[in-house]
Chain A
């Protein structure tokens, strides 16, 4: 089953864990994700990347996870994968360093 653009956009808003003020008040700039496999929990034996990651969640953190919750988590994984494609689409050269500052440390300096 194909997830519609509108449905997925709504899903993005409702499942995104983007912190602080609520996602719906803020604005996500992620594109819609029309090329994803089926709906949450559709095929437990799927080898789609989203289901493989979902399987990792189930294996590492199995506590209290029922089908409904797994469906929500699956939606979030889809959202993260959508973001991943946006990030990968930005051209980066080898000289594009991360915006982090690391310094060697001495307590007496």
Chain B
């Protein structure tokens, strides 16, 4: 891999924070070339991304080749669309031919695949430029980590305060977008892995409906719960990326055949039908509650806001049982090979053992109750455009110490996270202010299956009414 540190940087610093649309417009106006744009972000990957522990591998040779090709095509009149020539980073659980894919785990740090994940392939076909594989919690957090230091690349650092955690398991995706290291990133969520780093790092994270995006070539933690999605600075950017990566895929039987396009032909307009969740702000940090209430106030002229109860079902129990059983099947080899003992977090070394002996009937029962959850959540959401809740009960935890101790005080109120992921329904998190230690707080909208565009319309309205998504952490110029 070559060095880019000596290159001239002709691009203005605000390039690092520009929207995808703005970058594309400037590229087509010849304010810079795709190669110059790639060099600009490769420089940020080196200077800032590595300092945040956000980078696993810098794909500079590949990026410069892809960027040069993007320039040649634009010069020849071939325009592949809004991501043409735009750099991005991919969570290091997405297979990339010729570039290692570590899954965040020390014993797998040199793992190579022969082909790109479908998502990576689609982004390449759209002209996007892969500049880095981004850090993640080992095995996407499936082994039960309880601390920030749970990856062979070290703990993910938060760009707003490097003594705080970036969130996980899409740690590098969250912090790299938050620090303007990449214009957008791809993350994954089984339960919380896009929403948490998006909330902690003050960015926009979209977790699509299960099946909206092909999982082919992505590390499987839990086949029936894993979702891939965009992590961006704006909701509009998330829509553009989702439109690129969504769609059916013969290589992934779970990939939906439903079409998706963004912008929507018939976009949702106010007044929105929103509902808050009874008890959702109980036990959250005061600033989380204040920012949530201020966000609702922003929406009141543009929405009807009701309060609802979650159905009485064991959401978290169902989701965690399914995840544990599927990860036990997916990763028994880590235990039998002994590779498990090379995991970074001590608790991750023992995390899979007990899961190997969960009775099959518990898994099946969880799947049976999951169907009830799907029906109940769909009925709950049918008369609504979205349920709105705080993204997380706290701001980012400090790097030191275990999560359980930090969250013992602010355990949060009624949580919809288990229900969302058990049901496979979409959600988007957007920044909505700042709390303790100057760290971001987030606002989450949860919608009916395959209604990402409703969520995007609501989130875009919020970002039209506020400027939290335009705030930039200091020190990453």
Contacts and interface: CB of A to CB of B under 8 A. Distances in A.
Interface string A14-49: 111111111111111110000000000000000000
Interface string B349-381: 111111111110010111111111010000000
Interface stretch (B143-151, B439-447, B465-473): B143-151
Interface string A74-85: 101101100110
Contact of A61 (B190, B353, B371, B407): B353
B350 A21 contact: no
Contacts of A28: 316-317, 320
A87 B362 contact: yes
B317 A87 contact: yes
B404 A13 contact: yes
Contacts of A79: 354
B426 interface: no
B324 A92 contact: no
A57 interface: yes
Contacts of A22: 141, 145-146, 168, 192, 403
Given A25-B196, A29-B314, A87 B141 contact: no
A76 B354 contact: yes
Contacts, number: 198
A25 B417 CA distance: 10
B314 A17 contact: no
Interface stretch (B115-123, B290-298, B333-341, B448-456): B333-341
A100 interface: yes
Chain A: number of interface residues, binned into ranges: 35 or more
A24 B412 CA distance: 10
A67 interface: no
B140 A24 contact: no
SS class of chain B's interface: helix, strand, loop or mixed?
A: helix
Interface in A57-71: 57, 60-61, 63-65, 69
Nearest to B313: A90
Contacts of A69: 349-350
A50 B141 CA distance: 25
Given A69-B350, A73-B350, A96-B368, A25 B356 contact: no
A33 to B, nearest CB: 12
B146 A14 contact: yes
Given A77-B354, A83-B317, A26 B372 contact: no
Contact of A18 (B144, B169, B347, B411): B144
Contacts of A77: 354, 357
B144 A21 contact: no
A8 B347 CA distance: 17
Given A17-B352, A23-B404, A61-B336, 18 more contacts: A17-B354, A20-B193, A21-B141, A21-B167, A21-B195, A22-B168, A23-B403, A25-B392, A53-B354, A83-B320, A83-B362, A86-B317, A87-B317, A87-B362, A90-B372, A96-B368, A96-B371, A97-B371
Interface of A: 10, 13-30, 53, 56-57, 60-61, 63-65, 69, 72-74, 76-77, 79-80, 83-84, 86-88, 90, 92, 96-101, 103
11 contacts: A18-B320, A20-B192, A21-B192, A21-B195, A24-B402, A57-B354, A64-B341, A79-B354, A83-B317, A83-B321, A97-B368
For the complex of A and B, 7 pairs with smallest distance between CB atoms: A21-B192, A17-B144, A98-B367, A24-B403, A76-B354, A18-B320, A27-B415
